[in-house]
Amino acid sequence: MTMETIESQQDGSVTDSVAERESADMQTQTGQNSIPTLAQVATIAETDESADSEGVIDSHKRREILSRRPSYRKILNELSSDVPGVPKIEEEKSEEEGTPPNIATMAVPTSIYQTSTGQYTATGDMPTYQIRAPTTALPQGVVMAASPGSLHSPQQLAEEATRKRELRLMKNREAAKECRRRKKEYVKCLESRVAVLEVQNKKLIEELETLKDICSPKTD
DNA sequence: AATCTTGAGCGTCATATGGA
DNA sequence: TCCATATGACGCTCAAGATT
């Protein structure tokens, strides 16, 4: 993405009002947003059709529907404890036991792909990938100001507020990137699990048919 | 070739969550 | 309770493929 793009996006987002976004159409064109969240899926399954017929859901109800669920990392780690072969998303540690610094190795069900924070490589049925832990170095544009105690003038206070905002935005930007990476990883793991379960299901069906044939041979 | 559609990715905001 | 982090939602751009 070009810098011009980023600039224009930032300009556009500033003009966004909460009310506008609250009333905005829930269905966007992006693939990410067209996929219902786990919470949404659960809610859809639970609720009757009256909610659909209402058509309009106010922001509070929407928030309830979209209530928070455990993080991808948490879900995936729970899955991994239930099912061997499902990879774990490890906590980001600066020091990894048994692995080089800033490198975490784990299994993942995809071929090669790469992100801004790590390179993923396929090595068989359950490939492994390596993630470089994100660097904590700040972009060159971000300058750490003096401690708040040394600020006096309104201008200094304003600069400090701006600096804090930029820092917060930068951190959130990185967090969003990481979150999306985890989400993709999570989805891929679920897909691989589906594939495994489908194979298992097929085998069981075949086994059942075989047993049926053995137990009830044809009479004619 | 021009236009439309679709999917992916990004930055930002609001808010839930969890740890200190 | 406060604060940092994680994540859903939204609006935007861009690229690639489909359609006219």
C-beta of residue A135 within 8 angstroms of C-beta of residue A171: no
Which residues 46-85 of A interface with strand C at a CB distance below 7 A? 62, 65-66, 68-69, 71-74
User: What pTM does this model have?
Assistant: 0.52
What's the confidence (pLDDT) of residue A82?
Answer: 52
Q: What positions of strand C are covered by protein, i.e. any atom < 7 Å from a CB?
A: 5-14
What's the confidence (pLDDT) of residue A219?
Answer: 60
DSSP code at position A97: T
Cβ of A175 near strand C (distance < 7 A): yes
Q: Whose C1' is closest to the CA of A173: which nucleotide?
A: B11
What's the confidence (pLDDT) of residue A65?
Answer: 37
Span CA (A26) to C1' (B5), Å: 19
Amino acid present at A167: L
Mean pLDDT of A201-214: 95
**Chain mean pLDDT for chain A:** 52
Residue A200 has pLDDT above 90, yes or no: yes
- Tens of pLDDT along A101-148? 333 333 333 333 333 333 333 322 333 333 333 333 333 333 334 444
Q: Whose C1' is closest to the CA of A69: which nucleotide?
A: B16
Q: Whose C1' is closest to the CA of A186: which nucleotide?
A: C7
* Interatomic CA distance for residues A66 and A60, integer angstroms: 10
Q: Where are the domains of chain A?
A: 53-215
- Tens of pLDDT along A42-63? 333 333 333 333 333 333 333 3
* Interatomic CA distance for residues A10 and A188, integer angstroms: 31
Cβ of A136 near strand C (distance < 7 A): no
Cβ of A29 near strand C (distance < 7 A): yes
Residue nearest to nucleotide C13 (CA to C1'): A5
- Tens of pLDDT along A157-179? 778 888 888 888 888 888 888 88
* Interatomic CA distance for residues A137 and A63, integer angstroms: 35
DSSP code at position A140: T
* Interatomic CA distance for residues A115 and A109, integer angstroms: 16
C-beta of residue A65 within 8 angstroms of C-beta of residue A44: no
Cβ of A182 near strand B (distance < 7 A): no
From residue A219, how far is each of A1, A155, A158, A207, A209 by CA, in Å?
A: 71, 96, 91, 21, 17
What's the confidence (pLDDT) of residue A209?
Answer: 95
At A208, give phi and psi (nearest 5°). -60, -45
Q: Whose C1' is closest to the CA of A170: which nucleotide?
A: B11
What's the confidence (pLDDT) of residue A190?
Answer: 86
Residue A89, number of CB atoms within 10 A of its CB: 23
- Count Cα neighbours of A1 within 13 Å in the Cβ-side half-sphere: 8
Cβ of A176 near strand B (distance < 7 A): yes
